[in-house]
Amino acid sequence: MFRFALFSLMTTVLLSGCSRSPGAREAAVKLTVTYNFKAKCLVVTARDRNGSGETTEALTDNLKDFAQGSQTAVLAVFRKDGWSRTLNLTATAYESPLCKGPALVERALTVELPETQVIEQTLDLAGPDGDEDGYIADSEGGTDCDDAAANVHPSASEVCDDQDNNCDGNTDEGVGTSWYPDQDGDGFGDLKAAPLVRCTQPAKHVQDHSDCLDSNANAYPRKDFTETTCDEVDDDCNGTVDDTFPLKETACEDPCPSGTWVCNSNKNGLACQGAPPKEPYYPDADGDGEGDEHSTGPSLKCPKAPFPQGTVANKTDCDDQDPLNARGNFESCDARDNNCNTTVDEDNACMGKGWKSFSDDAAIKDRQWKSVSIAPNGWVWVAGDGGKLAVRKNDGVAFSSLDGACGNTAWKATWTTVNGIVVLAGDNGQVAWHDGTNCHDQQSVRGGSPLTSVIGRAQNNVTQVYAVNAWGELYSWTQGSTSSSRHFDSAPTYLGVHTLDGTGPLLLVGGANEYDRDRSAPLIADHPGSGNETALTLHTLPTIAGYGGYLTAVWMVSSNVAYAVGDKGLILKWDGNKTWSRVNLPNGTPVADYTSVVALDPASVYVTDMDGRIRLLKSSGWAPDPIYDGPQPLRDIAAKTMNDIWAVGDNGLVVHFAE
């Protein structure tokens, strides 16, 4: 039993007798409150029945340890000054220590205080507690969710019995075993799932929770396991996906850079994904930006790799031997099939012009022309046997005959200066020059040998002229001078000489045997243009079994490209070193003696022969057909542009393209 002095802070007076009210301590009520449940708060209230006074005492902390069974609280109730002798006493029990919420049980009584003495009263707060566990059934306002089971109440400990032992609305929470989903049935629970605590094993749940992928029965923890499948799955749940394939997700270059190694479609290895395919490229031998459409197949390269030298991405060139010919080009007047339609100079490209013969001109016919030159000012000079000489100073006009103006020498070679002057060289070592009006400086070089070729070049603002002869000699003189110098007299015979402006070498061609042409080996040498025979350097030529003959003409295209032509279809190409290579003739081409060569660029090399043909040799091969095929032997050719080409030959043959 517990005793309390209720309202200890109050001042109450007991009434005595009927004549007066008791003093505050003269009368009291000894109130015993009994209850059979675990109350967390007991509130006792005293009110003056005949007045408005009221006072309350709440018991909380002293109730928390009450044991199960009937409990008793004893309180002394005193009245307040001014109260009547009639008091209403109320006892209320709560399950909340805050003394709020629904009351579990409440009882009241009324007492009359005597004048002087203590009276005893009892308030019984017994509530419905069928299982006598100290908690009132929730159906009666209490908190016992099962008033038939003494082990079920809010203070009970949860145990594994599939019941809500502590009446919190949950069953077996916090007790029992943690179970984890095993959706794939591999015996390993989901690593990422929250546990389900149950006393018995739920369906598709296990105690393990180490499965990193519970949707795949082949993925679960295993030691010393080798993953054989590349499938983006961590088969052994070691934290690494496809760890047997360490290159996965790294850069690859199959076939080209910028790819990434990923699992292949068979899931048994890696494939390079995202790597761009190789791109085709084709040869562009003529350097016109158009690839050869006749190439047997493309070569391949990666997109970011540079094109190999001499190749392009397209194959739209029907004639990869000529930079001026490709599909889609406009046809030009140049004796070429520029647009690859198998027709030359169609669509009036030449405005009605073409190859024109001047053989019927009075100044031309019946002459044996040996040389032709085009001056930078446009004058065209032709010279030949018997002192024959003619000039055409303007387009569209006839040649003017200057026969005999410089004597009756058989002129073999010509060269023109920038102002139109022609330099003549011929038999008996004769040289002269003509300005279109008069002949000047007729003379014979030392020895009087037949001069076969002449060339001039600007050197230090001086025009120096060079000539070779059949006796193996090289001469030079300054244009306008009447004296010449012989640099050497060697055993070979020289039929051609050519050079470029400046101080580069002169190229000399001919034969090693001065006396027997058919048994002679061809010969090429270079000379600086100054000094004697010691400055002469012989070049190495390819061995041609059974060949005998001379080289008759040479032309330097640049400092490292030159062509030499000669007897029996011999054509040689130079690359700037001392060694020459042979240029093979087109298939089915009849062998002819080549007489002259001129080049506008490496892809525009024109060659004449004794059969009256002009052939075009490009940087990578021959044009399929002659660009001119005439009735008379051709002796010389000159070209200023692709549509300004002159050739001369026997029996008054002078032809021009385009006219």
Q: b/e string for 602-633 if b means 16 or more Cβ within 10 A? A: bbbbbbbbbbbbbbbbbbbbbbeebbbebebb
* Mode of pairing for the β-strands spanning 356-357 and 654-657: antiparallel
Alpha carbon distance 360, 605 (integer Å): 28
Residues linked to residue 225 through DSSP beta bridges, in sequence order? none
Which of 87, 103, 1, 128 has the alpha carbon at shortest distance from 42? 103
ω into residue 376 within 30 of 0, thus cis?
A: no
In which residue ranges of the chain is pLDDT below 70?
1-25, 58-70, 620
- The domain 356-657 having CATH identifier 2.130.10.10: the answer here is yes
| Count of CB atoms situated within 10 Å of the CB of 358 | 22
Q: Please write the tens of the pLDDT for every residue from 151-178.
A: 999 889 888 888 899 999 988 787 888 9
Alpha carbon distance 428, 446 (integer Å): 10
State residue 98 phi and psi, 5-degree precision: -85, 0
Helix-strand-coil split of the chain, %, nearest 5: 5, 40, 60
Q: Which strands sit side by side in the sheet containing 356-357, from one edge to the other? A: 356-357, 654-657, 644-649, 634-641
Fold of 2-124: Immunoglobulin-like (2.60.40)
Residues of the chain with CATH 2.130.10.10: 356-657
Give pLDDT, residue 135. 85
Give pLDDT, residue 23. 56
Give pLDDT, residue 381. 99
Alpha carbon distance 274, 216 (integer Å): 28
Transcribe 90-112 into DSSP letters: EEEEESSTTS-SS-SEEEEEEEE
Alpha carbon distance 411, 371 (integer Å): 8
Which of 634, 67, 128 has the alpha carbon at shortest distance from 369? 634
The identity of residue 571, as a single letter, is: I
Residue count of the chain: 659
Q: Cα 307 to the chain's mean position, in Å?
A: 14
C-beta of residue 396 within 8 angstroms of C-beta of residue 378: no
Q: Please write the tens of the pLDDT for every residue from 466-482.
A: 999 999 999 999 988 87
Give pLDDT, residue 10. 31
Residues of the chain with CATH 2.60.40: 2-124
Burial class (CB in 10 A: 0-12, 13-18, 19+), 224: exposed
State residue 511 phi and psi, 5-degree precision: -145, 155
Is the sign of the CA dihedral 239, 241, 245, 246 positive or negative?
negative
